[in-house]
Every structure is written in C-alpha cells, then in structure tokens.
C-alpha cells in the first residue's frame, strides 16, 4: 500500500509490515509560534513609586478584539525595599472592574510585539495608574501577600480574555511605607479559538 503526497511532489509515506504509518512531527512551543505569527506581546508597565501604605491600582488591561482572545501567559513583579514599611506587600487582581481612576484617568501604555519584524498591534486598551489610583467593582481573583525586596514570575497563567474582558492589578505597600518601587510586566498572545479547539 502506498500513501502519496497530495501536493504532487512525488513523496510517499512508509507503511510497515504491522500496517503502521511512519510519520515525523515537529513540536513548536506556543510562545514561539505566536511570535512567528506576530501575535505575541510584551507589556512593560514601567516603574511605579508608591509613597503610602494604601492601595494603588497600577495597571488596566482591556481586550477589545471581537473574534480573537488574549491569552495572558506570564506576569513578572518586582517589589523594591520599603522606606519605613514593615510587613508584606498586598498584591490584588480584579476581573472585569467597572470603574476607578486607573480606568478614567490612566496613562496609555503600548504593548511591544515580540516579533521585531511585525507591525501587528493588538486590539486593546492598556492604561497605567500611579500612587493613589483607584479601582472599583469587578471580582477579586488574586489576593496574596509577598515580601518587599522581592522579584517573582508567574508562568502558565492561561487567562483567556474575550471581547470586553479586563483586569486590574493593584498593590498595597506594607504599613508605614513612605517609598517603594514596583515594576510589572505582562506577557500575552493573541489566539483564534477556532484554530485551537
């Protein structure tokens, strides 16, 4: 029995005596595959200086693409030492918030395409807050305490943001804080759900 290449190139697949078809597969990591398509992005929010021990809503990610999904794959956080503060930093994330100054008065941020030769731009809004920016509404989905002078990366988040979905990241420095630096990076890919399901 012969299995021929349907493109007309003349190649044939091998079928052995046990009727097993011999094939070879190439496995491309999803991040590289998305980057090659120009649909992988890095969102560096910059550096925030927090000068109190109250909550500040720092980042707002809103997805506007009607047909495709934003898959958030990794988040990176850096918390500097706190001047005057003792205890843990409180890190909170809200799904689909409804208001707050991080949304109404935030500063636009641009996501960088991981394919340096691609001009693709995601259909989304990215806004950064500052010391004292607020968030209201939504569902609290992350609420953890982490040390100051601490760096960590969360991989395999696999959040899927459909059209109109959003989230906010908020940080509360430890009690007594008068100055603490925070840096945040989001990494995400644009996915067509019809091609992966």
**5 assigned to some structural domain:** no
**120 assigned to some structural domain:** yes
Average pLDDT over residues 139-147: 97
CATH number, domain at 69?
2.60.120.380
Q: What is the pTM of this model?
A: 0.86
Segment among 41-50, 105-114, 148-157 with least mean pLDDT: 148-157
pLDDT for position 33: 79
- 133 φ/ψ angles, rounded to the nearest 5 degrees: -60, 145
Q: Note down the domain range covering 119.
A: 39-195
The dihedral formed by the CA atoms of 28, 31, 35 and 41, expressed in degrees to the nearest 10: 180
**6 assigned to some structural domain:** no
**18 assigned to some structural domain:** no
**25 assigned to some structural domain:** no
Q: What is the pLDDT of residues 102-141, one digit of tens each?
A: 999 999 999 999 999 999 999 999 999 999 999 999 999 9
SS3 state at 102:
helix
| Tokens linked to 185 | 């990076």
Count structural domains, the chain: 1
């Amino acid at each position: 029995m012969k299995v021929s290449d349907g493109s007309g190139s003349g190649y044939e697949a091998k079928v052995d005596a046990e009727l097993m078809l011999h094939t070879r597969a190439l496995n491309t990591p999803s991040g590289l595959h998305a980057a090659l398509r120009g649909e992988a992005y890095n969102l560096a929010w910059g550096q925030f200086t927090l000068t109190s021990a109250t909550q500040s809503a720092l980042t707002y990610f809103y997805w506007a693409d009607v047909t495709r999904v934003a898959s958030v794959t990794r988040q990176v956080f850096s918390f500097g030492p706190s001047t005057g503060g003792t205890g843990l930093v409180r890190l909170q994330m809200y799904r689909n918030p409804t208001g707050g100054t991080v949304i109404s008065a935030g500063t636009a941020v641009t996501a960088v395409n991981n394919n340096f030769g691609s001009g693709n731009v995601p259909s989304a809004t990215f806004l950064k807050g500052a010391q004292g920016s607020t968030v209201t509404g939504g569902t609290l989905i992350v609420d953890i305490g982490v040390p100051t002078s601490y760096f960590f990366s969360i991989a395999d988040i696999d959040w899927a943001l459909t059209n109109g979905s959003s989230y906010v990241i908020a940080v509360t420095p430890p009690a007594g804080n008068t100055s603490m630096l925070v840096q945040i990076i989001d990494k995400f890919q644009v996915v067509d759900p019809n091609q992966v399901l």
